[in-house]
Chains A and B, each alone.
Chain A
Amino acid sequence: MTEESVRTLVEPYILATGGLIQALRRLMNEFGYIDPKHIPVVAEVFNISKAEVRGVISFYHDFRTHLPARTRIRICQAEACQALGARKLTQKIESRFNLRLGNMSDDRSIELDPVYCLGLCSVGPSLQVNDRLIARGSIDSIEGIEK
């Protein structure tokens, strides 16, 4: 990806509401992460310092600067899901993949991440596998997902 094409991606947001956040989201959608190499380009387009761009990236949980895994499993850690055994479910999923929450397998096939409420609290515990929402989650919900 050339510098020029990154510029083309983010330029439309210069004057938009929360433009920098929209631009960073655009990069996330395009590449699955924000490549640190692109930060100077974004800074220049928005006429702010690289530190300011990094500051925004580090503030929001959605923005990540590493390549994503093939399968990302998000496990809700918030209270309503805790009340239905989210802690135990998290442990089971962790041991199934031999991976701690918040980490990615070495071959980048699986990533386990916490999420704090998906709005499915009445039918928890809740999971999200890539884009798919799962209510009444159990270890069986992730059957078939292999490292």
Chain B
Amino acid sequence: MKARLSDDSVARALDSKSVEVQLRQREIDTELVGSFGLHWMEPLLQVSLENKEYTFTNVSDSKLSEVLQSLPPDGDPESNSCFIGPISGQKYLKNQQRLVFDRAGNVNPLALPRSETLESILSSEPETLIDEIETSGLRGRGGAGFPAHIKWRTVADTTSDQKYVVCNADEGDSGTFSDRMLMEADPFKLIEGMIIAGYATGSSKGIIYLRSEYPVALEFLSQAVEIAYSNQLLGPKVRDSDFRFDIEIFVGAGAYICGEETSMLESLEGKRGQIRFKPPVPAVAGLFGKPTLVHNVITLASIPGIFEIGAEEYAGLGLGPSTGTMPFQISGNVKRGGLIELPFGPTVRTLIEDFGDGTLTGRPFRAVQVGGPLGAYLSENELDTPLTYEHMEQIGAGIGHGGLVVFDDTVDLREQAEYAFEFCEIESCGKCTPCRIGSVRGKETMRQFKDGAYIRTYQLIEDLCEVMEQASLCQMGGMTPIPVRSAMERFPEDFGDTAL
């Protein structure tokens, strides 16, 4: 008998470690594996016994005895309330198309994968790799959706004694956890992606900027980097080639704004994470003034898959100029929260109804916030919008980092709009006035809706949003009006509808 138990932040937060202790006490051969991202099932236990697989969900130390007793030859697993059929047969998983998360859940995150693609990549011309990235249509998954190849080419074409690849693992958006999941379930995918990006752009040093709220990711990532060094996946001769590549992990110190790339570079220089003026863009003068390729974890982890299936085929996935796959994340008030990797283009409804299976509380759906704290609140009327950069832009929304946060009918959108300002106040870097002062004024003004001064308050908020949108130095202040306005436009009844 062999047991495979999920082990990541979510599993541990649901007490998987006490299940592990029990398994080990019973001297059951146990392997820890990553999470598939079917979070409502965690902790997940797979047992193989005489060439058969049995999967059990929501296992706890108190349920473990019964789970083990239900196994053949003496028991009947199907009679156990934790039993489900094989995990691969689960609709939630079967209906996905996983390129970034193909290994996640299936493997021990710290088992070094053998990648032949990487070897052939390291013997090809860097320029051709950039062409491939251009063909693939890959765009940044961190939020802005900027075409990757433009940054790659800029870094490659800028001469310098040192260039950097900085991986943005600051994942501060509420409702997003794909970066965390990848680093905990398949850290080598990220490492491979960084090596390829480094090789193509002529950068020998990679830095992963990891938020401090992710201690479990740090644990997996540090071990993976160490293993990579001892197996010549990192170091002076990557996979026996002449290419040198090093990776260092840097842990942030708690600042949402450090997810913005120039603020992150300041932070990596040991300073306050204040936004830099652009130009110069980081690809020309980034970390310590050197050319720097900054990419989100998922952008980098998408790269190995592009070379595995081929750039043309990758470009054929998705809808229009939104090519490839996107790991969407559904959370909040939803029955089946988790990670759903699909080619761009599923509708919001598909994700929250077909995958999410409705609200956790069982109450009617009311709103979904797409794309993190700077993303729009959508109502029932917009659920049939396909999730592509283009379609979302048409309705004044964005995909951001792919998070969808579901709310039932108890949500008060005025409260949410006030929170949007408050979050901006807490996390503003303070460099420019529209954001630093506007966020505070916005929060205070939002409270006035409660006192009944509807029309005047509405106008004040609208003016403030315009100033913040037009005059902020970065998108923190510039996009805070998005959740605010979307809430007011789509849910006027929460603001006192005499305003409209």
Contact = CB atoms under 8 A, between A and B. Distances in A.
Interface of A: 17-22, 24-25, 46, 55-56, 59-63, 78-84, 115-124, 126, 131, 133-136
Given A61-B255, A123-B39, A123-B42, A79 B213 contact: no
13 contacts: A18-B250, A55-B272, A59-B255, A62-B253, A79-B175, A82-B332, A83-B405, A121-B405, A122-B39, A123-B40, A133-B12, A133-B13, A135-B13
B215 A121 contact: no
Interface in B410-457: 411, 416, 419, 423, 426-427, 429
B89 interface: no
Contact of B180 (A17, A119, A134): A119
Contact of B172 (A56, A117, A134): A117
A59 B250 CA distance: 17
B253 A25 contact: yes
B399 interface: no
Contacts of B215: 131
Nearest to B37: A122
Interface in B260-295: 267-274
Contact of B177 (A59, A60, A63, A122): A122
Contacts of B419: 79, 82
A21 B267 contact: yes
Given A59-B273, A79-B175, A117-B174, 17 more contacts: A17-B270, A18-B267, A25-B253, A62-B212, A78-B174, A79-B405, A80-B403, A81-B332, A83-B406, A117-B176, A119-B9, A120-B13, A121-B329, A122-B177, A122-B334, A126-B13, A134-B13
A120 B10 contact: yes
B396 interface: no
A11 B7 CA distance: 36
Of A24, A123, A134, most buried by chain B (CB within 10 Å of CB) is A123
A49 to B, nearest CB: 13
Interface residues of B, number: 62
Contacts of B39: 122-123
B323 to A, nearest CB: 26
B341 interface: no
Contact of A117 (B173, B217, B271, B407): B173
B214 interface: yes
A46 to B, nearest CB: 8
Interface in B362-416: 369, 373, 403, 405-408, 411, 416
B136 interface: no
A61 B406 CA distance: 28
B174 A79 contact: yes
B491 interface: no
A17 B174 contact: no
Contact of A124 (B173, B273, B330, B331): B331
Contacts of B406: 83
Contacts of A115: 213
B467 interface: no
A81 B373 CA distance: 12
Interface in B231-256: 248, 250-256
A59 B252 CA distance: 12
A81 B405 CA distance: 9
B60 interface: no
Given A79-B332, A122-B331, A62 B254 contact: yes
Contacts of A118: 9, 213
Contacts of B324: none
A63 B337 CA distance: 33
Contacts of B173: 117
Nearest to B213: A118
A21 B14 contact: no
Nearest to A76: B174
A133 B9 contact: yes
Contact of A116 (B172, B216, B267): B172
A20 B271 CA distance: 7
A83 B333 contact: yes
Contacts of B40: 122-123
B20 interface: no
B360 interface: yes
Interface in B314-348: 329-334, 337-338
